Structure 1
Amino acid sequence: MRFSLRTFGGLELLDGQGSTVAFPEKGLVILAYLFATDRPSVTRATVAELLWGDASLATSFTNLRSLILRVKSRQSELNAHFLSFSENRIELDRTSLDCDVSPFGASGSREPFERLKLLVECLQGVFLDEINLRNPIFDGWLAQQRERQLVGLEHALQTLTPLASTSDQRGLVKEAALVVSLARPLDESAHEALLRAYDAQAEVDHLRRTFERRNDRLSSWTSTNQSSAPSQVAVRSPSLEAVSATEPATQPMARVPRLALLPPGNYSRDPASAAIVTSLLEDITIGFCMLNSIQVLAPYSALQISRKTEDQLATFEHHGFTYVLDTRLTGGLDDLSLFSQLIFFPTSEVVWAERFSLGGMELARNKRDISRRLALSVASEIERHRITRSHFEQNPAAYHRYLIGRQYFSRLTLPNLRRARKEMKAVLHESANFAPALSSIARTYSEEWLLTARGDADLLKSAEAYALQAIEAANDMADGYRELGVTKLQQGALDESVEALELAETLSPHYADVIADHADTLAHYSRLEDACQKIEHAIELNPLSPDAYLWTAAGANYGLGRFEAALSYVDRMTEPSLADRLSAASWAMLGDNAKARVFVRRARETHPDFDVEKWLSIVPIKEQWHKDIYREGLKKAGF
């Protein structure tokens, strides 16, 4: 029987049918060493040092003799003698054993593109993956072998790229370029090889322009507004260079988040679609390779991990993955969609989720656009999440108080807002520059201004001051700009509000809370259809929506004359009494004055001095017709 030794993606001995054969692990390491170094034999002293490092010579040789006895016994059982042992040497017999590392030796008479294919197949996995002898001598040798193998692939790629003439050869060159880029995610030369192989310059230019616009907009806002910001908070310099596709790789590998992008589970009614979307995810992987902010798992390895069920979590932990992108394919051919969710592995936190509609599309034609959108979405969310968590992890005590304060935002009542403010100010005693707490305090003041409806300018001044402090503490986080935009809206400075919220959404384009506030701003601009579309997107990203989302959706629909839709959003609120005035106006416009009066009475119990004209003079609404429909409904209701 002929056996084979698998060294990439693990280490195991296989029989002629491909089944795993039991064999002493350190005996397999000796076999891998001899094949990888292309040697017929090795001294016992070299093997003892390789396996047990700088342990005492007597101990190492004792351990080696014990190992040799076990290897001999197992070989006799298999009737195969891969290794033979003399007094001083260990010899390899290749007669009945093949090894997948062989293509990295002399190329011999093998056709060049055939050899390249073998190299690519090998390096889809990691050489001697999961073998840990806790021995610096073995570790050094292993690192040297892995580097030698990668250099061999790079050399073959450079040689054969200009010679590729058929579609199969060009496809093989692309695969090789992807393997090299995945192995060297921070190496600009690897990126360039991938660009040449995929001819993807247009796509990379798009990625670069996206992040350049982000940097430019941030720089422009900072230069224009920095002088007006408070000075008591230390400025933190932008960290957007972590996602710039043009930035040289200067950060240590350990600081780069590792992402496992898993092939989609197929829950659709079209089984053939899974193959198409698996190919789509390979395109997305290429998109990630263009960025220096993420180290992404190779598609082959991702597929192997996705097939595991029992030890999948242990595999993620072992390989140090920070994020997992889980995908599911649902629907039929006409309503096919890809649901994606990004999970922060250490805490199992769902950072982001979105559904991409694929129905009625020519996937082959639109794959690149979809892959670009998904790659940019995930890259942006990872960067936003990384920046946010850096604030939390610097001061655990502050983070704990912050979490206590955040729970009060789930219900928008005055007592809850004041409890939240108290907790957030306690956070600042622990850490004065804790930007998420500063922006949260700003939110409590702006929400209080909205709930009390008294037009208290001091509340908005406080909100603005804390928002500016949050920006100065972390000027690359969206939250400070978000709160500034909300406050500027309430102050009637619509242009400044739009500028701040556009920057917030540029920094975090899939941050549901920012999108919701942007929708609210559009509603005040009287761009009600746009507001409805944006708030629906925010609700889709955050299905367990807070009342503020639903309130915005209700108001936008009311302005469009969709009074029943407005009431349906109010009914979904946890605290629908917050929108009693809007409910009263909606019922009045529908002609049900009895129901309208019920809500008028409830609203007056909370705000007995509410006056329609005073309210309309305070709330910023751009178009007169928009003000008129509010006036008409509120007057008809009895205010």
Structure 2
Amino acid sequence: MSLRLTTLGGCQLQDEAGQTIAAPYLSLVLLAYLYSSETQVARRSAAQLIWAGNPDAASTNLRSALRRLSQAIGENRVPVIEADGAYLTLNHQALTCDLEFETAEISADNLNLCSDAVAKVFLPLEGRTSAQLSIWVKDVRQRHVALLRQQFLKAADNPEKVARSDLRRAAVLLLEHDPGDEEIRRRISVSEGQDQQRVAAQPREAQQIMAPPPSGDLWTVPRIALLPPDTAVSAQKAGSVANALIEDLTIGLCASRAVSVVAPYTSERIRSSRDKAAILERHKITYVLDTQRTEDALFVQLVFLPTDEIIWATRFKLDPGEIAGQRQTITDAVQTSLVRQLHSTQTMALDVSSQPEAYVSFLRGLQDLSHMSLPSIRRARRHFKASLEIDRNFASSLAGLSRTFSMEWILTARGDQDLLQQAVRLADQAVNHNGQSAGAFKEVGVSHLFMGRIDESLEALEKAETLSPHYADVLFSHADSLVHASKPADALRKVLNSIELNPLPPDPYFWAAAGACYFLGEFAQALEFIGRMRDSKPADRLAAACWAMLGDAAKARTYRLRVLRNNPDFDLERWVAVLPHKEKWQTEMYREGLVKAGF
């Protein structure tokens, strides 16, 4: 009867029944260290490794950890650690560990064990500092990569004994760790039937981007995460052309020496996270290829993560009877477009590598902007300013800073012209520093809109959409200006397109859709869009007007009181006077709804 220690993808101790034992975390790290060491370890060495930050108390902490581990396991069990004064020894009869693969023979059968170890990561909470514990953890991870490489090379010599998908997975993990490993790239190319003729047949842009990078630094080599729409389990059950496409693209892009493909296990974790700044900072991701499957179509979009811009997107019509045959056609088309886009954005990628902290701060600001409240907007402003302290000419952060002033103008509803003037000034600066930035032109359009310059707003937003036709935020902002330009039907079509491009959109998308519906007389539909907002308080004025126009005075009153509770200084006539509308009927229609609501 023995306990089981898990160190890959987490750290926990389980009994024979699979129940987790509530032992202190650092006592489990100690068990992992003893298991990995294979021989007895000096108590002093173990204590200084795990409690290096507090050397005076290290020995005391070790004794406490041993006592608490023993209590958690139970006094009736055989001790898992034998302590004889100066040394600690692991009792291998009382404990098994998921690191046993380290002593497995080099064979094709053990390839997946090593792949799992590298993918899941040994003690994932550790290894992020220069402390002794982190150094040891990183050494173990490096050992796992070396073992995987040995297993892969052995398996590649006997490809008939191993599944091709297993070889692919191992190769991607190895190339993610070391994009410059030419031996691995050559072996997987041979196993996939690739050769120099195929590379030579690529477009000229593809040949250029396949040139070796100046160094192997993770920031220097752009990294791309390929996100399938299905989990591995659901894909296996139903079969998935999108997942098969991602698998083909992963191997195809491994032929490029200037781009590093993130392993599928990492990509799944990225899909589940909304913290784009943390993804950029921790995984050094530059591009994300996202795929979405509907009944009869596959939608693919490439996102430049540092600025969260969709730089390319396309849709493939799927024929249920011909999906297998379409797979290679779609793969070739996507790969060719990908390589061209990677080549065209090389300058931006290199800029990220030179000052990643500026982009991380920018993304943190962008995330705060997705919450429409004054505290969130002011937090975003601090992040954008922090980014500009690193690079004062960073157009994306100048544009983001401009947006904070426009949004504050909307939320306070006081008609403060100073806020709009600052927004216009910063947006103009962003365009001056980067005349190809769709985000910069977007903020020029937004700031001019609220200044009442509707034609100038539409001109700037059309320019932004020309520069980046798949950038969802640009389409949403263009839609919002079309609402104010007295074109609510055009606005609704465009904002629905932006929601399709960004299936988990921030609240302003739904707010803009609701505004378009209001001016189309679709008040119930407007309320439905408001109901999809995570925080609908900013749209309370519009909700009150909708309920009033529907004849529900009680609900209109409820929302009017919410508006006045959050903004007691709200003045109807002052607000209506500064709201920009191209045609007077819009202003009167909005005023009618608010008056009926009791404002």
Counterparts of 1:54-65 in structure 2, within 5 Å, are 55-56=54-55, 58-65=56-63
With over 3 angstroms needed to count, the CA separation of the structure-2 counterparts of 1:66 and 1:427, relative to structure 1, is same
1:200 counterpart (194, 197, 200): 194
What amino acid is the match of 1:13? Answer: L
Identity of aligned residues (%): 25
How far apart are residue 352 of structure 1 and its match?
3.7
Task: Identify the residue that residue 177 of structure 2 maps to in structure 1.
Answer: 183
* 1:247 partner letter: P
Mapping of residues 468-487 of structure 1, within 5 Å: none
Counterpart residue number, 1:328: 292
C-alpha displacement at 1:283, in angstroms? 1.8
CA–CA separation in structure 2 for the residues paired with 1:199 and 1:324: 27
Mapped to 1, the partners of 2:395 and 2:473 lie a distance apart of 28
Following the alignment from structure 2 to structure 1, what is the Cα–Cα distance between the partners of residues 471 and 67?
66
RMSD: 4.9
> Secondary structure of the equivalent of 1:339?
strand
- Give 3-state SS (helix, strand or coil) of 1:246's partner: coil
Q: Distance in 2 between matches of 1:98 and 1:8?
A: 13
Give the Å deviation of 1:92. 0.9
Distance 1:321 1:4 in 2: 35
1:130 aligned to 2:125? yes
Which residue of 339, 344, 368 corresponds with 2:328?
368
Kindly provide the amino acid, as one letter, of the partner of residue 300 in structure 2. Answer: S
The Cα shift of 1:316 comes to 7.1
* Superposed displacement of residue 247, structure 1: 1.9
Match of 1:124, SS state, is helix
Q: Show the counterpart of 2:40.
A: 41
C-alpha distance in structure 2 between counterparts of 1:324 and 1:50, whole Å: 38
Of 220, 224, 228, which residue of structure 2 is paired with 1:255? Answer: 220
Q: 3-state DSSP class of the match of 1:59?
A: helix
Deviation sequence 1:534-584 (CA, Å, 0-9, x none): xxxx8999866979xx9xxxxxxxxxxxxxxxxx9999999xxxxxxxxxx
Task: Return the match for 1:90 from 88, 91, 98.
Answer: 88
Structure 2 unmatched runs, 5+: 353-358, 360-387, 404-420, 445-462, 483-488, 496-599
The code of the aligned residue for 2:248 comes to: D
Question: d(CA) in 1 for partners of 2:262 and 2:127?
Answer: 21
- 1-side partners of 2:194 and 2:399: how far apart? 44
Q: Deviations over 1:615-637 (max 9, x none)?
A: xxxxxxxxxxxxxxxxxxxxxxx
Q: Residue 24 and residue 270 in structure 1: after superposition, are their counterparts in 2 closer, same or farther (change >3 A)? A: closer
CA deviation after TM superposition for structure 1 residue 245, in Å: 1.4
Distance 1:572 1:115 in 2: 54
1:293 and 1:379 in contact (8 A); partners too: no
Return the letter of the residue paired with 1:138. L
User: What SS class does the counterpart of residue 327 from structure 1 fall into?
Assistant: strand
CA distance in 2, matches of 1:139, 1:385: 35
CA contact (8 A) 2:3 2:16 kept: yes
Aligned counterpart, 1:285: 250
Answer yes or no: is 1:4 the counterpart of 2:4: yes
User: Which SS does the other structure have where 1:143 is aligned?
Assistant: helix
| Aligned-partner Cα distance in 2 for 1:570–1:146 | 52
Letter in 1 for 2:152: L
SS at match of 1:69: helix
- The one of 241, 245, 251 equivalent to 2:210 is 245
**2: CA distance between counterparts of 1:302 and 1:203?**
30
Aligned to 2:519: none
Q: Is the 8 A contact 2:205 2:343 kept in 1?
A: no
**Aligned amino acid, residue 144 of structure 2:** Q
Which amino acid letter does the alignment assign opposite residue 298 of structure 2? L
CA separation of 1:425 and 1:114: change in aligned 2, threshold 3 A: closer
Q: What SS class does the counterpart of residue 121 from structure 2 fall into?
A: coil
- Structure 1 position 42, deviation (Å): 1.2
DSSP 3-state at the match of 2:85: coil
For residues 282 and 212 of structure 1, do their structure 2 counterparts lie closer, same or farther at Cα, with a shift above 3 Å needed? closer
Alignment of 1:242-391 (within 5 A): 244-248=209-213, 250-265=215-230, 274-303=239-268, 306=271, 308=272, 318-331=282-295, 335=296, 337-345=297-305, 348-360=308-320, 362-381=322-341, 384-385=344-345, 387-388=347-348, 390=351
Q: What SS is found at the alignment partner of 1:45?
A: helix
Task: Identify if the C-alpha distance between structure 1 residues 96 and 396 changes in structure 2 by more than 3 Å, giving closer, same or farther.
Answer: same
CA distance in 2, matches of 1:117, 1:82: 29
CA contact (8 A) 2:402 2:427 kept: no
1:529-548 mapped onto 2 (5 Å cutoff): none
Q: Cα distance, 1:264 vs. partner?
A: 0.6
Return closer, same or farther for 1:90/1:105 CA change in 2, 3 Å cut-off: same
* 8 Å contact kept, 1:188–1:249: no
Change (3 A) 1:402 1:34: closer
Distance 1:170 1:12 in 2: 33
User: Quick one: structure 1 residues 323 and 401, their matched pair in 2 at CA, closer, same or farther if it must change by over 3 Å?
Assistant: closer
Q: In 2, distance between residues paired with 1:75 and 1:424?
A: 62
Q: Which whole-Å CA distance do the structure 2 matches of 1:350 and 1:426 have between them?
A: 22
Instruction: Give the unaligned 5+ runs of structure 1.
Output: 216-243, 407-418, 445-482, 484-510, 517-537, 551-567, 575-639
2: CA distance between counterparts of 1:573 and 1:45? 67
Shift of residue 338 of structure 1?
A: 1.6
Q: Specify whether residues 367 and 136 from structure 1 end up closer, same or farther in structure 2 by C-alpha distance, changes over 3 A only.
A: same
Q: Which residue pairs with 1:591 in the alignment?
A: none
Query: Where does residue 589 of structure 1 map in the other structure?
Result: none
Q: After superposition, what is the alpha-carbon deviation per residue over 1:178-213, rounded to whole angstroms, capped at 9, x for unaligned?
A: 332222223333322321332333796168544257
Instruction: Tell me the secondary structure at the aligned position of residue 253 of structure 1.
Output: coil
Partner of 1:459: none
**1:47-81 deviations in Å (ceiling 9; x for gaps):** 1122123753x322122122222112112279463
- Relative to the length of structure 2, the TM-score reads 0.56
* 1:330–1:20 CA distance, 2 compared to 1 (3 A): farther
Between structure 1 and structure 2, the one with the greater Rg is 1
Matched, 1:119 2:114: yes
Shift of 1:303: 3.5
Cross-structure match for 2:68: 70
Q: 1:570 to 1:437 in 2, by over 3 A?
A: closer
Secondary structure in structure 2 of the residue aligned to 1:8: coil
> CA 1:346–1:66 in structure 2 vs 1: closer, same or farther (change >3 Å)?
farther
* SS of residue in 1 equivalent to 2:120: coil
Measure, in 2, the Cα distance between the counterparts of 1:401 and 1:284.
35
Residues 229 and 242, structure 2, Cα contact 8 Å, conserved in 1:
yes
| Aligned partners of 1:287 and 1:372 also within 8 Å | no
Give me the whole-angstrom Cα distance separating, in 2, the residues matched to 1:116 and 1:398.
47
- Structure 1 pair 13/273, CA: closer, same or farther in 2 (3 Å)? same
Question: What TM-score, normalized to structure 1?
Answer: 0.53
